[in-house]
């Protein structure tokens, strides 16, 4: 039975500073890098992982790279699936035994937070109110000013999941996705058939892992959350 692993990136510097990050590219918080070993031991060091996907945001790709520093002696090479020069000019003939391909797409990026990007979350609460900010962050249909709702994220992330990752899973392959919170929440909503109302309660912590065991028709058989 295929296994699907959802891993949220290691805490970033802006996460540590309690700021809305969205599509901004910021580095990981170096004091949290120890989480990479924990994530590696639960995924690439424990299971046969056939395919790995990541978003194009640096904090997600760097999380993958850090995981490979612990245990697996191969190193990741990033293959960009989005159309453009990174896709066209990133072609190659073959890879060595030392390489492992990581497929990236902005379809797996975090929610775009619009006017909130870079703002301290406590400042946002004081300005807009705690209830409204919570709805912007966790509800399905309500997005922040100028930004994406979770429904918007679902509508770009799940078609990508169906096009690429479902094909891998149906072939019996184990797949690891390393991405940001709301892209993973969208995928979890799809996999677990979580209602629009209940998704507000679903969260994955920084460096958190959700492991799904699926049957041949990709129906959920078992779930483990770390």
Q: Give strand pairing partners of 214.
A: 220
Catalytic residue chosen out of the listed positions 32, 110, 148, 166:
110
Assess whether 134 carries a catalytic annotation: no
CA 106 to chain centre: 10
Q: By the 8 A CB rule, do 50 and 2 touch?
A: no
Residue 101 bears catalytic tag: no
Is there a contact between 185 and 204 (Cβ–Cβ < 8 Å)? yes
Residue recorded with tokens 């799904």: 212
Q: How far out from the chain centre does Cα 166 lie? A: 16
Show Cβ contacts of residue 79 under 8 Å, excluding neighbours closer than 6 positions. Answer: 90, 101, 102, 103, 104
Strand partners, 120: 19
Closest to 9 measured CA to CA, from 69, 63, 70, 45 = 63
What 3-state class would DSSP assign to 173? coil
Distance, in Å, from the CA atom of 98 to the CA atom of 37, rounded to the nearest integer, reads 19
What's the rounded Cα separation, in Å, for the pair 86 and 157?
20
Catalytic residues: 9, 110
């Amino acid at each position: 039975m295929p296994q699907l692993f959802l891993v949220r990136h290691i805490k970033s510097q802006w996460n540590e500073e309690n700021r809305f990050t969205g599509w901004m590219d910021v580095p990981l918080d170096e004091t949290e890098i120890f989480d990479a070993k924990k994530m590696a031991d639960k995924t690439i060091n424990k299971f046969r992982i056939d395919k790995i996907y990541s978003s194009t945001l640096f904090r997600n790709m760097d999380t993958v790279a850090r995981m490979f520093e612990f245990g697996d002696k191969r190193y990741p090479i990033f293959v960009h699936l989005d159309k453009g020069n990174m896709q066209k000019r990133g072609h190659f003939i073959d890879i060595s035994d030392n390489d492992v391909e990581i497929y990236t797409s902005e379809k797996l990026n975090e929610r775009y937070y619009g006017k909130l990007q870079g703002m301290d979350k406590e400042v946002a609460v004081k300005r807009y109110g705690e209830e409204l900010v919570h709805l912007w962050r966790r509800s399905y249909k309500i997005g922040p000013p100028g930004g994406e709702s979770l429904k918007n994220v679902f509508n770009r992330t799940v078609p990508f999941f169906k096009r690429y990752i479902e094909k891998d899973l149906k072939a019996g392959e184990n797949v690891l996705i390393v991405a940001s919170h709301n892209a993973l929440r969208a995928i979890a909503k799809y996999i677990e058939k979580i209602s629009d109302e209940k998704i507000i309660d679903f969260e994955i912590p920084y460096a958190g892992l959700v492991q799904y065991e699926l049957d041949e028709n990709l129906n959920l058989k078992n779930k483990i959350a770390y």
